[in-house]
Amino acid sequence: MSDKLHTLQKKINIKFKSINYLKKAITHKSYDPLNNYEKLEFLGDRVLGLVISKKLIELYPDQKEGVLDKRLASLVNKNRCLEVAKNIGLEKFILIGNKSNKSKIENKILSDCIEALIGAIYYDKGFEASEKFILNMWKSFINSSDVSIVDSKTKLQEYSLKKFKSLPIYKLVSSSGPKHKPKFTISVKLKNTKFFEGSGNSKKKAEQSAAKILLDSLI
């Protein structure tokens, strides 16, 4: 056990003052019904939301609350936590009872444990250390193109309503590809513009892409 905890500390580059916090963060209730990660997960979820919210306000000081809220939702969710857990290789360290069906609960446990780990770091090292850990682990997501265009459609709608008192017009241009890998192309225009096209693997993403291209043309 001590070897496993030592390896995990090296993996995340954090040395705990109280190793019990780290042990609890990777302990599922099926392994220990009393000393497990559930309360640390509750805390870690709040710390994660606070850190990412603070970072988004620093990066986008002029954006409206609704846009920031959507950015936050794209960064603080179980899927993002799962990706971070897999990047760390956290599945090798989790303590879980033999009777649990790992194939069904593995992903949920992994994402829960990342939040619990954040809670453990907060308890043991304080806010600055947990903030540093989160920003390091979430850096690629914060900088990703998906986040940067997360609300282009809403921006375009707000611009169109303010300037023309009308909504943007979207049209499906084409859809192609197999079911598991579709490609949609959608065009959009405002009252005084031509149609601009964007593509994506869903209609929603294609609309976002088209909206961003049109917005860029207005700059």
152-218 in CATH: which number?
3.30.160.20
Q: Tokens in use for 10?
A: 């090296």
Average pLDDT on 111-126 reads 97
Q: What does DSSP say about strands 183-189 and 169-176: parallel, antiparallel, or unpaired? A: antiparallel
2-147 in CATH: which number?
1.10.1520.10
C-alpha to C-alpha distance for 7 and 107, rounded to whole angstroms: 22
pTM for this model (two decimals): 0.66
Higher pLDDT, residue 76 or 180: 76
Percent of the chain with pLDDT over 90: 69
CA distances from 2 to 15, 18, 22, 34, 44 (A): 13, 13, 11, 20, 23
pLDDT at residue 155, rounded to an integer = 87
| Sheet with 196-200, edge to edge strand ranges | 169-176, 183-189, 196-200
Burial, 28: exposed, middle or buried (Cβ in 10 Å; 0-12, 13-18, 19+)? buried
Question: Any idea what DSSP says for residue 92?
Answer: G
> Among the options 41, 112, 115, 151, which is catalytic?
115
First to last CA, the chain: 58
pLDDT at 103 over 90: no
Average pLDDT on 10-38 reads 94
Any residues with CB less than 8 A from the CB of 87 and at least 6 apart, and which?
Answer: 137
Residue range 121-169, pLDDT digits in tens: 999 999 999 999 999 999 988 876 454 445 788 889 989 999 999 999 9
Higher pLDDT, residue 116 or 3: 116
C-alpha to C-alpha distance for 198 and 211, rounded to whole angstroms: 8
pLDDT at 112 over 70: yes
Residue range 49-90, pLDDT digits in tens: 999 999 999 998 888 887 788 888 889 998 899 999 999 999
Amino acid found at 61: P
Is residue 115 part of the annotated active site? The answer reads yes
Helix axes 38-59, 65-75, angle to 10 degrees: 130
> Among the options 41, 45, 131, 151, which is catalytic?
45
Burial, 141: exposed, middle or buried (Cβ in 10 Å; 0-12, 13-18, 19+)? middle
Average pLDDT on 11-18 reads 95
Domain ranges of the chain: 2-147, 152-218
Q: Tokens in use for 13?
A: 């580059």
Average pLDDT on 174-195 reads 93
